Copies of this chain bind each other. A is one copy, B any other.
Amino acid sequence: MVQQVGNGLRSATVRTRNLSQILTHLHLEGATTRSALGEVTGLTRSAVGALVGELEAVGLVRELPSEPNGSRGRPSPVVDFHDGASGPAVLAFEILVDSMAVAVVGLGCQVLSEHRIARSREQVSAVDTVRDLAGMAQRCVVEAGSPEIIGAGVAVAGLVRRGGEVAVAPNLGWVDVALAELLAAEFADLRSIDVGNEAQLAALAEARRGVAKGFGDLIYISAEVGIGGAVVSAGGPVVGHGGFAGEVGHIPVNPAGRTCACGAIGCWETEVGERALLRRAGMDSDGGRVEVGRLIELAREGDATASEVFRETAGWIGFGLAGLVNVMNPQMVVLGGMYREAFEFVGDVVVDRLATRVLEPLRKVLVVPSSLGADAALLGAAELAFDRMLPDPVRWRTS
């Protein structure tokens, strides 16, 4: 246990934590009654009343008039967030290899507006990317009704340091990009800008609002141009010392395998990446998302070659996942990106492979497609932004 200096508790801490617990519960679980909030927190009715009163006073929540609910006793009023632009919101940004997205998101992860654009895989500089995002963001904010923006989160396809710099994003052609600073220059009023890796943020979103909600231990596999991943353990992200955890594409799986783009031989990505899939199908390895879509369509049409390609690839997916499952002991593996699209052609083989390669006590692991799909990383970016405010919501709101 890493101990932090200066963490002695005091009355003010009590208040702050209780306010945070109530707001966080509403953020994750949705509107609920004051009475239920008492049960959730274990606090008395008077304490909950005062805490909700304070959150309401600073405009973070609203109390709806109580209505009869068919049971005896005084009905309890419902505590909810404000609709739309009446409450605070965050900006969520997503920068992938062939697309960019911006959303304005309110508490409860209410998407107030969202814009997504495709772009070519030609590598665009960070400066140009941020300029484009700024334009999209302005339009998004206006379209959302110009809510108060309290922060921003950014999901990037690359390795992101804890401080928010993009150390390297090979498929974007970026090295040592201070992305948070570039965005801060465009959005001078933002109080916080946090940057994270897209797979880690997608995992965060699936754990809170997607297929993995309620699962404290999971692995998320992001299969876009590269193979990325993320681990959630005991409800929290495993980011590692530098923030770079999750590079599952570079797990060595075959000492006699192919040379990877990273320079090593036999990485998992050389067997299950987009290029590997297309190569195995005898298609243009550089065919990108379009060719992958074609392959999926061929498989849906019953094309034997396409089906066999997915079967073989699924074997390798299972091969690499077996190691991850043996090491991390997750409840669930969530497949995103192209393996979410192709889940029907790979799911069973992956499960079979895990059944033979994972130790028996660890074998009860669910393998599922992402439910948030293309929005996973964007919602994760929004959560990242909210996580700055939720620990001390009233202070954030009043300063």
Contacts and interface: CB of A to CB of B under 8 A. Distances in A.
A324 B268 CA distance: 13
Given A2-B235, A254-B254, A263-B356, A247 B10 contact: no
A361 interface: yes
Bin the interface of chain A by size. 35 or more
Contact of A357 (B217, B248, B264, B360): B264
Number of copies: 2
Contact of A244 (B245, B263, B362): B362
A326 B251 contact: yes
A262 interface: yes
Contacts of A11: 11, 14
Interface in A38-59: 39-43, 47
A234 interface: yes
Between A17, A253, A328, the greatest number of chain B beta carbons within 10 A of the residue's beta carbon is seen for A328
A69 interface: no
A326 B5 contact: no
Contact of A252 (B239, B319, B364): B319
A359 interface: yes
A323 B361 contact: no
Contacts of A264: 322, 356-357
Interface stretch (A20-28, A104-112, A113-121, A279-287): A20-28
B242 A361 contact: yes
Contacts of A364: 242
A2 B320 CA distance: 28
Interface in A203-232: 208, 215-217, 229, 231
A248 B331 CA distance: 17
